[in-house]
Amino acid sequence: MMRPAEPGLGATYLGDGQTHFLVWAPFATTVDVRMTVPTQREVRLRPLPRGYHAATVDDVQPGSRYTFVLDGTLERPDPASRSQPEGVHRPSEVIDPSEFSWTDQGWCGLPLRDLVIYELHVGTLSDAGTFLGVIPYLDGLRDLGITAIEIMPVAQFPGERNWGYDGVYPFAVQNSYGGAEGLARLVDACHQRGLAVVLDVVYNHLGPEGNYLGDFGPYFTERYHTPWGAALNFDGPHSDEVRRYFIENACYWIDTLHIDALRLDAVHTIFDRSAHPFLQELAESVNDVAERRNRRVHLIAESDLNDPRLVRPPLLGGYGLSAQWNDDFHHAVDALLTGARSPYRRDFGTIDHLARAYRDGFVYSGQYSQRRQRRFGAPLTGVEAQQLVIFVQNHDQVGNRVDGERLATLTSFDGLRLAAAATILSPYVPLLFMGEEYGETTPFHYFTSHTDPDLVAAVREGRQREFAEHWDRDAPDPQDPTLFVSSRLRRDLADREPHRQLVALYRELLTLRRELPSLAHLRRDTLEVTVARPARVLLVHRWHGPDATILALNFDDQPATVLLPVPGGNWHKRLDTASPTWGGSGSRAPDAVDASQATAVPLPPRSAVLYHRQIAKEAP
């Protein structure tokens, strides 16, 4: 890989033993770079406009360790460090990403419509708990029908156990996972198999331990507050440099480490009232990198606002992001299947909510929300179906239950099969949480490994307060190492029944989604949704040209019989989740339905059946 024409923030190895250092430190009058390995020495950086300090230093090779010394007294790691081999409090390390041996020169990325995302946590996916430990599972994911993996945050965090949202060095890849080189090898292995890589990044806060940004400059502001404290400064004095820091970080992941998409964590906690919002500037910068590299690159937002402006183009008043997560779909399905106690439970629980999720994308697009006690959301006018990512499980929805329960422990296998069909056969981009495809039952807990005793106590107490309103028992201690160990996947389950049958069902569902034109084309204007009352049955009719499908989803605990709204032609059953093939107890749904006859279709409890019509082309 060619080195950048202009060195950016942090330490950039230029070759021939020279390294360029650039740091933004407007709070400091002088900044020295202190080399600690292999030899000890200090070099004064020259001051530059707007609070930057820089120098090119000889005899600094990759592997050298260094810190910055502010005003001769305060010693800190590099805010833009690419490597923290000894953790968040120790010196940074110079690395040379151009030494990575890439084999993905022909890789151009995937369009949004082709994404089937598999979210994973590097530390718990495998016993190794490293990037290299993920690689042996890639072939199986590809064969299942997965087209992209989504990696939970890997920015350096304290200790070795963390979800990743306590990262404090956004540019440094977690050392215990294998660092930047390990991530590069995983990305390259994915691209060799035709898999895209989505990386979860956190631009709304930094973790509490090892967060030294405030010593360098006004990265934070007290004008706004987040659940984690002061907000990042994206619209106040000096915010141009704060924006540069995070935009340069995004471009580093994409340009240097070949990441295909970034999932932006909780953008509703990014506060910005400027005329040219940070998120829009971020999208513009990432698009420039993608165009220069001739690659498809996506920005996928997580948001609690149901705001279509995130994904609308700037010409229509939007920010120009590629897609956003849609929690409403999860809430609608989860409430129907589990009835579990949760903060969102008051706003969901009927089949009409799921019907609205299919038809409109958001369930709440301006309607009154009991939970929020106000109208919530806005219609997704002008937004394509492929711009919404849906799921029935993810790290938040599992890990933020008091016991970290997965859907497999909250519903039956009938319910799991129904949820799979509802998600994968939808007109939106599906996301699976690791282990979902075989019905993993081991919990996924929230875990940390902070070293500050006061912080440990604060996190423990905060977790208890968070759950006190909704659960009648104490939350597990996030610092308990057994939580991390017990959160590792037990992949041997996939070789047992009925787990093996569930894997086969996911594979068949993803095959149908890929091969049937009416399912492969992600559109909301070629879709009709009806509710078959009084049962909780949803009928979803989709079409593309002459190809058409009708999906019947029975969320009731009782059998139901429905008349399918089939237009002309013969309809053939392509999938029935109640079939013994998938571990079901059997179904009497007919193999074919003729539109000229009013055929009643019986549906077992919690089951899905898919009918397909394909009109043959006339012979020439």
Enumerate the active-site residues: 265, 302
- The two tokens of residue 522 are 């992600």
Q: Three-state SS for 372? A: coil
Query: Which DSSP string do the residues of 495-511 spell out, in sequence order?
Result: GSTTHHHHHHHHHHHHH
Total H helices, total E strands in the chain? 15, 31
Q: What is the residue type of 301?
A: A
Q: What is the residue type of 45?
A: L
The crossing angle, in degrees rounded to 10, of helices 239-251 and 278-293 is 30
CA–CA distance, 250 with 149 (Å, rounded to integer):
18
Helix (H), strand (E), coil (C) string for 140-163 = HHHHHCCCEEEECCCEECCCCCCC
CA–CA distance, 446 with 478 (Å, rounded to integer):
6
CA–CA distance, 230 with 214 (Å, rounded to integer):
11
Q: How many CB atoms lie within 10 A of CB 560?
A: 19
Handedness of CA 111, 112, 114, 117 (dihedral sign): positive
CA–CA distance, 211 with 80 (Å, rounded to integer):
12
With beta carbons less than 8 A apart as the criterion, state whether 541 and 550 touch: yes
CA–CA distance, 122 with 128 (Å, rounded to integer):
9
- Count CA within 13 A, CB hemisphere, residue 242: 27
